[in-house]
């Protein structure tokens, strides 16, 4: 009985803590300055009508993060939400797209007022402090993709491998753009360049791999590392509770991504060399 009571108390505590982090505060005491200066970024998320419940929670939580200037909702399908459906501490703009494609994630958008954007899937919940740390790392490396989910592509032909495998091998050479900072002018221009046309057609064909393509385009433009990893304190994938994620069949998802890797490597060359974990010195990439 004592054991059961303790378990219940722990569950109540964790529930209250999670609820507070998501609804009751921004999770970050202060943003991180660089040389005494602060900045802001635009938060972009891509979604559609079946995920509206995710979006409401997403906007309410992340609008409280100190460095978020605006939230742009990339609306791919269905009836878009009206303004009063989304409770936010910062301006929210719903950008309704003409076509349901993953390429919309990187559409050029002249209304974005910041150099930095963070692409973040609407089903990922993490503390604001994790966003602030990632933003600081991006400000130190603005020519790179700074993300929270590292992946490793290696072998002949290239095979798409998860974070656990990357850690076993000691490094990574991609980060997922479902949770990543980037210079939107640089990244979106590369994505919509003529040479990326073949890749964009593959993204539409598989309804997958837009993040893999962007990693290749960055690697193709530099001989140095083009990705940085930041380990989140915690992150919850809300798609596990909804059943609307496109990657819920992990084996099939990884198989498609390996096919993308093979094709992209033919067209764009290889990815940059493996970047080691714990190589940056700030302790955030362990």
Per residue in 159-188, pLDDT (tens digit) is 999 999 999 999 999 999 999 999 999 999
Burial of 243 (0-12, 13-18, 19+ CB in 10 A): exposed
Provide the whole-model pTM. 0.89
66-77 per-position pLDDT tens digit: 999 999 999 999
When pLDDT is cut at 50, 70 and 90, the band that residue 78 belongs to is very high
Q: Give catalytic residue positions.
A: 211
* Cis peptide preceding 39, ω within 30 of 0: no
The pair phi, psi for residue 150, each rounded to 5°, is -80, 150
Q: 40 Cβ partners below 8 Å, 6+ apart? A: 67, 68, 69, 114, 116
Domains and CATH numbers, the chain: 1-276 (3.90.550.10)
Tell me the CB-side half-sphere exposure of residue 123, using CA atoms within 13 A.
16
**Which pLDDT value is given to residue 3?**
78
Residue whose structure tokens are 């609008």:
63
């Amino acid at each position: 009985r004592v054991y059961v009571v303790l378990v219940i108390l722990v569950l109540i505590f964790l529930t209250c803590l999670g609820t507070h982090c998501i609804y009751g505060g921004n999770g970050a005491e202060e943003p991180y300055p660089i040389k005494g200066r602060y900045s802001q970024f635009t938060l972009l998320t891509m979604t559609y009508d079946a995920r509206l419940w995710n979006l409401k929670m997403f906007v309410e939580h992340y609008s409280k993060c100190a460095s978020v200037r605006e939230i742009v909702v990339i609306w791919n399908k269905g009836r878009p939400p009206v303004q009063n459906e989304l409770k936010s501490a910062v301006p929210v703009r719903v950008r309704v797209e003409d076509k349901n494609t993953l390429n919309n994630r990187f559409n050029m958008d002249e209304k974005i007022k910041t150099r930095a954007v963070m692409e973040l899937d609407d089903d990922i919940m993490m503390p604001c402090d994790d966003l602030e740390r990632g933003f600081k790392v991006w400000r130190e490396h603005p020519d790179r993709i700074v993300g929270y989910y590292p992946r490793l592509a290696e072998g002949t032909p290239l095979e798409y491998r998860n974070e656990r495998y990357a850690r076993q091998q000691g490094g990574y050479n991609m980060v997922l753009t479902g949770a990543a900072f980037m210079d939107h002018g640089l990244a979106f221009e590369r994505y919509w360049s003529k040479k990326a046309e073949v890749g964009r057609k593959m993204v539409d064909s598989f309804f997958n791999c837009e993040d893999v393509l962007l990693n290749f385009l960055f690697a193709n433009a530099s001989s140095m590392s083009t990705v940085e990893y930041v380990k989140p304190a915690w992150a919850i994938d809300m798609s596990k509770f909804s059943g609307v994620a496109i990657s819920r069949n992990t084996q099939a998802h990884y198989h498609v991504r390996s096919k993308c890797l093979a094709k992209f490597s033919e067209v764009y060359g290889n990815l940059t060399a493996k970047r080691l974990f714990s190589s940056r010195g700030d302790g955030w990439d362990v």
